[in-house]
Amino acid sequence: MADDRASFRPGNWRPLRLATLVGLRWLAIAGQTAGVLFVAVVLGYPMPLLACLGLVALSVLLNLWLTFRYGAGYRSSATVATMQLAYDIVQLSALLALTGGLQNPFSLLLLAPVSVSATTLPQRSTYFLATLAIVVASILAVWHLPLPWDPRERIVFDRVYDVGLWVALLSGVIFVAAYTNRVAHEARQLADALGATELALSRQEQLRALDGLAAAAAHELGTPLSTIALAAKEMRADVPEGPLAEDVDLIISQTARCRAILAKLRNLGADEGDPFAAVPLGELLAEVARPYRGLGKEIVIVTEAAAGPEPVFRRNVGLLQGLGNLVENAANFASASVVINALWDKGAVTLVITDDGPGFPPDLVARLGEPYLTTRASGNGGDGGGGLGLGIFIAKTLLGRTGARLAFENVGADGGARVTVVWPRKVIETEKATGF
């Protein structure tokens, strides 16, 4: 599943359609044109009208070129989208430089491209655009043409006021770039990781569905095949020895072979992988651990009953996949052995999965279960020191759907990782009839 997971990496998306960026720019063009004409024509204030309209016309030409070159449905890469938003910042800053700089109340619009990037583009794009906005704001604070105003009145802005505008704009840019982008980035990570989880679950469900279809097909084919075998045997009794008899014998032998194949297909739908079978906890753990016993590590299952009979779980894809991810992670990092302790009483069912490996990186223990959690140390928190950390996230998500709570800790300072999974007993009893 590595290739599929890679498609969910942050940064591998093209989130913005060209039509969105072009539409926002058309809106800006309309607003800029209306504002410039209102000040110059309606209010009659002196200003470099032709230069301002020239900057607006440049945006018009850019929009037309992008639309005819790529089409409205084209999705820009993060780099191309970043360059378009950078142009918007530079174009707006040039327009502000001709009309009062930061003293122009529309200087607040410098935040708009940064906001768009913060909610849709990777962090590096947002930081680049934020830095660009800060640079142009600093230039506008010290160099700009006078603010268009009534020539009969003299308007003077105190230097402290100009500094205050600059500080306010910089604070807004930094807040949007840091806080808003961080929130949006975490939301994208969660959405992508959930997509990877659903992909893993869907694949398992498809495989099990194929088992069921194979069993159903074997059942339907069994009757006509038996009829063919019976007819062939009766024919063989009436046919003398010779080439025809050999052909009939061949039909009988191949029919027997087909029946053996159908028997195997029939078992696919009724074996231990049946997602609707109820199994005791011990058998469930044995099934989960079986694929990982070939990794060269000893996997020991210990069951301890404090009260009541052994709990019975409804086997389903999410439960098997979630527990399998935890056992696989422990087996991959264990030095020699993995111990799975199963305990239950009247109130809860608890699994404790312990390995004798290096343990979880101490600085990441509290964050385990977050999607795309990278690790700097060689510990159980990810995929070998720097992986995506999706295994634990998928396990936590799938087991959480079954009503389980997960806790991660290290056994001691010398290493050893421990994962504790707890189900309230009432959840298991309630879902026994319908499955998780």
SS3 per-residue string spanning 290-320 = HHHHHHCCEEEEEEEECCCCCCEEECCHHHH
pLDDT tens for each residue of 328-373: 889 888 989 999 999 998 888 999 999 998 888 887 787 787 765 6
Q: For the purposes of burial, counting CB atoms within 10 Å of the CB of 355, is it exposed (0-12), middle (13-18) or buried (19 or more)?
A: buried
| CB atoms inside a 10 Å sphere around CB 214 | 17
Residues of the chain with pLDDT > 70, as a percent, come to 76
- What distance in Å separates the CA atoms of residue 298 and residue 60, rounded to the nearest whole number? 69
Q: Which domains does the chain have, with CATH numbers?
A: 2-198 (no CATH), 278-431 (3.30.565.10)
- What distance in Å separates the CA atoms of residue 321 and residue 198, rounded to the nearest whole number? 11
> What pLDDT does residue 373 have?
61
pTM higher than 0.75, yes or no?
no
**Taking Cα atoms as reference points, which of 102, 101, 259, 118 lies closest to residue 179?**
118
pLDDT tens for each residue of 247-304: 878 888 888 877 777 666 555 544 444 544 678 888 889 888 888 887 788 999 998 8
pLDDT tens for each residue of 75-133: 778 888 899 999 999 999 999 999 999 999 999 999 989 888 888 888 888 889 999 99
Q: What is the CA radius of gyration of the chain?
A: 34
Question: How far does Cα 355 stand from its chain's mean position?
Answer: 28
> What pLDDT does residue 381 have?
55
